[in-house]
Amino acid sequence: MAPRLMPRHLRALSLGDLIRMGQELYAEAPLLHLFDKGRARRLAALIMAKTPEINGALFLAPAYGCSAKAVSARIKRIEPPVLADLRRTQEAEGVDLTRTDSRIWRRLAA
């Protein structure tokens, strides 16, 4: 999914710049990943192109139109066995967003 050749102006961006870009996008549209999947995928591709070991990003905005600084951002390398297990579960039972969120981000863990 990562672009093979990034234009020069994108190569100059740091990972921090891309995280800030994500925070700005999610401040404007907290459900970007649902309603503008193309933009969310392009952001993911840029993050992966800059840092290939990162394969997970989570942006949480408290409200539509909030400031970009209010959007929390986390990035992570999700281990291949976890991804494989989630894929098997998805194929067998469908997507369970709560289980996936808990497994990857540990936000709902006790």
Over residues 27-54, the pLDDT tens digits come to 999 999 999 999 999 999 999 989 999 9
Encoded tokens for 51: 């840092």
Return the beta strands (E) in the chain as ranges. Answer: 56-60, 72-76
The ranges assigned to domains in the chain are: 1-77, 78-110
Over residues 53-82, the pLDDT tens digits come to 999 999 999 999 999 999 999 999 999 999
Residue 78 CB-density burial (10 A; 0-12 exposed, 13-18 middle, 19+ buried)? middle
pTM of the model: 0.81
